[in-house]
Structure 1
């Protein structure tokens, strides 16, 4: 019934109205999910360090929930391809809520095995938070896709910034409930993810992907007998897909590696949870808050220019984090802000490249596989970060990450020449 209704040709004004409604619902769900996303970033590594008694494995939580997000990206994209964005995104956030409850149970029972399994499940929320950006672009005009993506991303800012600042209060609440203090933010995460799932399940109607497909199929044929193209004339080549994927994979790897170990580094240099929560809040804000401007820049100057800017910005972030003194909270906050900004440039530009390069019929599956690659790179960065810090120190990790980010430049240049 939904498919039949959606198949009726719609006036541009009607499509624009539906797109505004879709973006509104996505914004609300992203505000909620941002708080859930930030919980694992803020205390995941500290919780593992506390339970295992070693820094070398402190990066394991980040690796686990990003690995879990890889599996979730496949599941969410397949559900979305078959049944639409609404059931796919709602299922992903509901799974993230289950993982949050599992982390709390693991902390109460002091079970590292349960903690790691729960963090893996918790990663579904991270994958879904990223997959939601594609839903914002389904009905957008080709010249406004980057802006639509950025609108969804920026909505994560409120929850993502508020979430880490609540690390100390939720820790106090957890302690009054007989739950270890470091598990407190996961109470917030569970409620936030569950609420996001409920909002999407009830309010994301009509489904943007199903409607976009129906409108594409109903598009009149041209005189030659072929359907008029629904997308812009950007070349749909494997090289463009590889380029967009490389940009997002490299920026994700560098961002996760440095971000994961920053709270541990601050803890080891005498800073409390409130200070590290503030730095991560600034970082998460920089990840999402610039999105509207980034989207406009991509639409105006092209995705390649912003992809290059991401590599340069991440290099600056790595250099600054490497030279920041142990008591230099301000410098670390600035470095993490640049880290988030560089990631934002890479994610928005890479998403625009992928979305423009792939037709509607296969878009959801391709986007899901790209997000799997992003999640795997994040898992690699998170897992390796603890070992690097254990062997060589935090400055070496930050500097190495910044230098690695420069690999974005030749990757983009090579595919740009191949267009």
Structure 2
């Protein structure tokens, strides 16, 4: 009996080996990509300060965040038309070009080239974020959150390992004649190219294309167009069911003319998808706002010579809260439901704002607040991403996922830009209070009564 993915519903392929292979590859490339992203960001502020001055260094780092968010648009188009493999490889490739441009900017002292390089360097982050969705394409419904969270957790390995390579990469770059602090970006370029190459060569069969073929075999439809040949609109209408009618304009295909607008139309029409997108975006906004100004808050209470070790310890505990327990969060989301974990994440975000905002001179209290902040982000990210992925049909799923990453990146960039002004004018307690207020819309969505018979409200049903 063949196990080709084009077999009919009467003889379904064994996707278990395909999914395990996919997870192993994604886990490996997440580590490589995580090292590439973190090693560059770790010295990016210092390099930007050397080239453009301290006042501009924050804007240079924000360029990487904005670049990662905007790259969600072309990456989504590639994934929709050709699958996860070329889309992820493209994002890593853009990040590699960005790293090379940053090295050229350090060599020439060009500020515009530095901004362009950091903008494209965000491709590494875009690839790392999109990879979590590839883990869900072929996952069993009762294991989706756990397998997505495993890929999120893999980022921790790269993030922890990266600082240990920064000094080595800088020395190696110096030996090659590169300017100080540019060596890590050359290392990032190599890491991104390696991740792209591994994915292009080994991520076969493509998980998204395989999932589409399986869905088409079950329903007897064209995987590119959906039921009736109407593209994403037809797929949504057929899969959403009468309980949640969705009216979308017909599109000629899932990969042509649909775009993020089609993803937005589906998300807007599906309550569960709206909750998933809001959980990811709001959780990220609150996390960035409170975390970004924590070092500035600590600087006001410690001498200059003592503040860096304290900042390093506090932020390390925060990062541990973000990633270390992601597999546990995924297990809870599979056992208790996505909505329950999102509500738990909302509670931790509110607790984090309260604890951190009232920490004052207490470093221990601030550290506890930032650990809670990381846990709240992890809960909203894992449960929200899983809920979104299973609340929209295969034909439109990449568009909805790309829309979510775009909104998440823009929310983080907005929070980072505004938090500095709030900190200067009103202080850390007011910033924490405003961050808590920003959680209110997500809380309202999560507490919205579930309409009887509505699919995917608890992440139990499967679309596509």
Structure with more of its chain in helix, by fraction:
1
Aligned residue in 2 for 1:308: 343
Aligned residue in 2 for 1:90: 89
Q: Whole-Å Cα distance in 2 between the matches of residues 310 and 40 of structure 1?
A: 30
Q: Contact 2:138 / 2:211 at 8 angstroms: preserved in 1?
A: yes
Q: Contact 2:7 / 2:13 at 8 angstroms: preserved in 1?
A: no
Residues 39 and 278 from structure 1, CA distance in 2 versus in 1: closer, same or farther, beyond 3 angstroms? Answer: farther
Q: Contact 1:69 / 1:126 at 8 angstroms: preserved in 2?
A: yes
The CA deviation at 1:358 is: 0.3
The CA deviation at 1:347 is: 0.8
Aligned to 2:446, the other structure's residue is in SS state helix
Q: Whole-Å Cα distance in 1 between the matches of residues 38 and 200 of structure 2?
A: 22
Aligned residue in 2 for 1:17: 17
Aligned residue in 1 for 2:323: 288
Q: Contact 2:39 / 2:185 at 8 angstroms: preserved in 1?
A: yes
Q: Which runs of 5+ in 1 are unaligned?
A: none
Q: Whole-Å Cα distance in 1 between the matches of residues 87 and 290 of structure 2?
A: 30
Q: Contact 2:357 / 2:429 at 8 angstroms: preserved in 1?
A: yes
- Give the counterpart of 1:250 among 278, 282, 291: 282
Q: Whole-Å Cα distance in 1 between the matches of residues 188 and 100 of structure 2?
A: 9
The CA deviation at 1:217 is: 1.0
Aligned residue in 1 for 2:116: 117
Q: Whole-Å Cα distance in 2 between the matches of residues 126 and 238 of structure 1?
A: 28
Give 1 or 2 for the bigger CA radius of gyration: 2
How big is the alpha-carbon RMSD for the aligned residues of Structure 1 and Structure 2? 3.5
The CA deviation at 1:415 is: 6.9
Q: Contact 2:4 / 2:13 at 8 angstroms: preserved in 1?
A: no
Q: Contact 1:96 / 1:122 at 8 angstroms: preserved in 2?
A: yes
Aligned residue in 1 for 2:37: 37
Q: Which runs of 5+ in 2 are unaligned?
A: 221-226, 229-235, 245-265, 455-464
The CA deviation at 1:325 is: 5.6
TM-score by length of 2: 0.77
Q: Contact 1:76 / 1:89 at 8 angstroms: preserved in 2?
A: yes
Deviates more, 1:333-342 or 1:41-50: 41-50
Q: Whole-Å Cα distance in 2 between the matches of residues 15 and 60 of structure 1?
A: 45
Q: Contact 1:59 / 1:260 at 8 angstroms: preserved in 2?
A: no
Larger relative contact order (CA 8 Å, sep ≥ 6): 1
The CA deviation at 1:29 is: 0.6
Aligned to 1:414, the other structure's residue is in SS state coil
Aligned residue in 1 for 2:425: 391
TM-score by length of 1: 0.85
1:61-76 equivalences under 5 Å are 61-76=60-75
The CA deviation at 1:60 is: 2.3
1:207-222 equivalences under 5 Å are 207-219=206-218
Residues 249 and 266 from structure 1, CA distance in 2 versus in 1: closer, same or farther, beyond 3 angstroms? Answer: same
Q: Contact 1:76 / 1:91 at 8 angstroms: preserved in 2?
A: yes
Q: Whole-Å Cα distance in 2 between the matches of residues 172 and 332 of structure 1?
A: 35
Residues 256 and 391 from structure 1, CA distance in 2 versus in 1: closer, same or farther, beyond 3 angstroms? Answer: same
1:7-406 equivalences under 5 Å are 7-9=6-8, 14-39=14-39, 41-49=41-49, 51-54=51-54, 59-164=58-163, 166-167=165-166, 170=169, 182-183=181-182, 185-219=184-218, 237-263=269-295, 269=302, 270=304, 271=306, 276-277=311-312, 279-324=314-359, 328=363, 331-406=365-440
Q: Whole-Å Cα distance in 2 between the matches of residues 395 and 310 of structure 1?
A: 21
Aligned residues: 411
Q: Contact 2:283 / 2:376 at 8 angstroms: preserved in 1?
A: yes
The CA deviation at 1:219 is: 1.6
Aligned residue in 1 for 2:224: none
